[in-house]
């Protein structure tokens, strides 16, 4: 049985705004009891679209394999502590090396603290109040338990990727933390940088195509209002190829480009937010391919 219980979570997070506790949290855990070790933090989304009360009731009362996560983060920024002992939401993955040691393969539940944040995980945009609260929460946990944000904070995707690629995508969805795949999974380095308040190294921009179908294997940087450079120009090219918008392809993503992108997003059936993230990149790529196959362009 695990011997590490985080019954001081309420004290560690005492100065975090909108903090509360769920009844019985001090003695709630999976069947193995407390944690075997405390090597880091794994961040998640709930993959649900219901009320906070239903989320928490499921996580900490009715889930067959509960408790699901130690802490809940609502869309409105509320933070609720629900379990002091080990939880069931990390599952298969790892091994994971942190500054505190190595989490053995498939032992994340017993050795990492998990946060579950309310988000459907199907392209739902994250409210700023929630992402701000996520950063504040993780920073407080790192300060309280001596975690190194750059070595001890992982997304569920990052935990699973080495041994179970494709098993989990969370946390995902339009946010300030970019995306690393077509599912919109957050770039964990951007999240870590927000926690530390530092600026991450800028990844190289792919070379934009001069014509044809847009295909890039690997990283595709998000483009939004105010973006400049090769990726902004590439996005403008794709908008013109799909919809014949006639916007200037100058690599400066201003109001005209944002409005044109929203028109394209509406046509492609993706969230109309004027933000070209991984979901929109993929939809544009598919749209261009469809047009090419039908003889509709070039």
Query: What's the average model confidence in pLDDT over 169-195?
Result: 92
Q: Do domains 9-196 and 205-298 have the same CATH topology?
A: no
Domain extents in the chain: 9-196, 205-298
CATH code linked to domain 205-298: 1.10.101.10
Which residues, listed in sequence order, are joined to residue 19 by a DSSP beta bridge? 79
| 92 burial type by CB count under 10 A (0-12 exposed, 13-18 middle, 19+ buried) | middle
**Could you tell me which residue, 242 or 255, shows the higher pLDDT?**
255
Cβ distance 149 to 139 under 8 Å? yes
Query: What is the SS3 assignment for 143?
Result: helix
**Could you tell me which residue, 29 or 271, shows the higher pLDDT?**
29
Of 6-15, 48-57, 242-251, 272-281, the range with the lowest mean pLDDT is: 242-251
pLDDT at res. 294: 52
Percent of the chain with pLDDT over 90: 63
Query: What is the SS3 assignment for 253?
Result: coil
Of 144-158, 196-210, 243-257, 265-279, the range with the lowest mean pLDDT is: 196-210
Report the CATH fold assignment for 9-196: Lysozyme-like (3.40.80)
| 138 burial type by CB count under 10 A (0-12 exposed, 13-18 middle, 19+ buried) | buried
pLDDT digits (tens, 9 = 90+) for 271-297: 888 888 888 888 888 776 665 555 443
Residue by residue, what is the 3-state secondary structure of 167-191?
CCCCCECCCCCCCCCCCCECCHHHH
pLDDT digits (tens, 9 = 90+) for 107-157: 999 999 999 999 999 999 999 999 999 999 999 999 999 999 999 999 999
pLDDT at res. 208: 47
- Please, what's the b/e burial string for 176-210 (b: 16 or more CB within 10 A of its CB; e: otherwise)? ebbbbbbbbbbbbbbbbbbbbeeeeeeeeebebee
């Amino acid at each position: 049985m695990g011997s590490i219980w985080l019954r001081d979570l309420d004290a560690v997070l005492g100065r975090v705004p909108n903090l509360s506790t769920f009844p019985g949290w001090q003695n709630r855990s999976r069947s193995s009891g407390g944690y075997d070790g405390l090597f880091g933090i794994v961040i998640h989304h709930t993959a649900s679209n219901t009320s906070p009360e239903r989320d928490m009731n499921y996580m900490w009362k009715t889930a067959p394999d509960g408790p699901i996560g130690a802490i809940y983060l609502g869309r409105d920024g509320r933070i609720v502590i629900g379990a002091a002992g080990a939880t069931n939401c990390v599952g298969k993955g790892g091994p994971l090396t942190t500054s505190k040691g190595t989490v053995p393969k498939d032992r994340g539940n017993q050795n990492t603290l998990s946060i579950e944040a309310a988000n459907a995980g199907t392209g739902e945009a994250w409210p700023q109040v929630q992402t701000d609260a996520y950063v504040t929460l993780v920073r407080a946990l790192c300060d309280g338990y001596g975690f190194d944000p750059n070595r001890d904070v992982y997304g569920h995707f990052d935990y699973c990727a080495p041994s179970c690629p494709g098993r989990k995508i969370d946390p995902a969805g339009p946010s300030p933390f970019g995306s690393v795949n077509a599912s919109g999974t957050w770039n964990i380095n951007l999240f870590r940088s927000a926690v530390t308040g530092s600026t991450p190294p800028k990844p190289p921009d792919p070379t934009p195509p001069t014509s044809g179908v847009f295909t890039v294997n690997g990283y595709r940087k998000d483009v939004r209002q105010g973006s400049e450079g090769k990726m902004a120009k590439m996005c403008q090219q794709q908008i013109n190829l799909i919809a014949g918008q006639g916007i200037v392809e100058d690599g400066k993503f201003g109001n005209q480009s944002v409005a044109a992108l929203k028109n394209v997003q509406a046509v492609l059936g993706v969230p109309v937010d004027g933000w070209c993230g991984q979901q929109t990149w993929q939809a544009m790529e598919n749209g261009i391919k469809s047009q090419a196959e039908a003889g509709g362009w070039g």
